[in-house]
Chains A and B, each alone.
Chain A
Amino acid sequence: ETGVTQSPTHLIKTRGQQVTLRCSSQSGHNTVSWYQQALGQGPQFIFQYYREEENGRGNFPPRFSGLQFPNYSSELNVNALELDDSALYLCASSYGDHLTETQYFGPGTRLLVL
């Protein structure tokens, strides 16, 4: 196990609602990245937080937002849920620069939007 934890493990919401997903990073890691994995596809990068600041964003609309806290844990918030938001949401924590960094993933939160 990586030491990266996510909650909840499963979630069911209806279209238009809002959801918050949580991630606790591995001890000593100061960077958290979030990915969306739709069924049958590879993970897609949502955004990354480094020392509480957004450090890059993928091709996702503004209704996807995030936070990182002083203890480096993180939240992913999604407003106005759409059916296509149904997916496995993965967070990954990491530490270091381009040469040394490796992202370690949590088990994911499976979101179903009805």
Chain B
Amino acid sequence: AQSVAQPEDQVNVAEGNPLTVKCTYSVSGNPYLFWYVQYPNRGLQFLLKYITGDNLVKGSYGFEAEFNKSQTSFHLKKPSALVSDSALYFCAVRYSGSARQLTFGSGTQLTVLP
């Protein structure tokens, strides 16, 4: 079954420092990988996706993610964190043979400290 894992429930980082939010996926077919962000009492906002091609994907608000097939990972990164980046981040996977449903991880709460 398709799945993603976010091993960290909480990540704290100081403002201005680089941030990483981790995601690993189960190996089954060709995974399409996504990152979404959720602010309190809001829906999910799309950040970026990996479908094929270049392993480094750039997305909204200065975020990027690297697809690593050998480690089955798709970690979200940003060179310099902002306090406004504090939110709940979800990794999601979709496989080419599925009905285009997204399978989400459990989420990682990112807190950027001023």
By a beta-carbon cutoff of 8 Å, the part of chain A in contact with chain B is 2, 4, 6, 31, 33, 35, 41-45, 48, 55-56, 58, 90, 92, 94, 98-99, 101-108, 110
B90 at the interface (CB under 8 A from A): yes
Residues of A within 8 A of B106 (CB): 41-42
Give the Cβ gap from A91 to chain B, nearest Cβ, in Å.
9
| Pair B46/A56 contact, Cβ less than 8 Å | no
* A35, B43: Cα distance in complex, Å: 11
Residues of B within 8 A of A90 (CB): 43-44
* A103, B92: Cα distance in complex, Å: 11
| Pair A55/B100 contact, Cβ less than 8 Å | yes
| Pair B102/A103 contact, Cβ less than 8 Å | yes
| Pair B90/A42 contact, Cβ less than 8 Å | yes
* A64, B37: Cα distance in complex, Å: 26
Residues of A within 8 A of B52 (CB): 99
Give the Cβ gap from B40 to chain A, nearest Cβ, in Å.
11
Residues of B within 8 A of A55 (CB): 99-100
Give the Cβ gap from A71 to chain B, nearest Cβ, in Å.
21
Task: Find the B residue at minimum CB distance from A42.
Answer: B104
Residues of A within 8 A of B41 (CB): 110
Interface residues of B in 25-83 (CB under 8 A from A): 32, 34, 36, 41-46, 49, 51-52
Give the Cβ gap from B21 to chain A, nearest Cβ, in Å.
13
Contact of B32 among A41, A98, A107 (CB under 8 A): A98
* A34, B53: Cα distance in complex, Å: 29
Task: Find the B residue at minimum CB distance from A106.
Answer: B43
* A31, B32: Cα distance in complex, Å: 18
Q: Which of the listed residues B45, B52, B102 has the most CB atoms from chain A within 10 Å of its own CB?
A: B102
Contact of B100 among A48, A104, A108 (CB under 8 A): A48
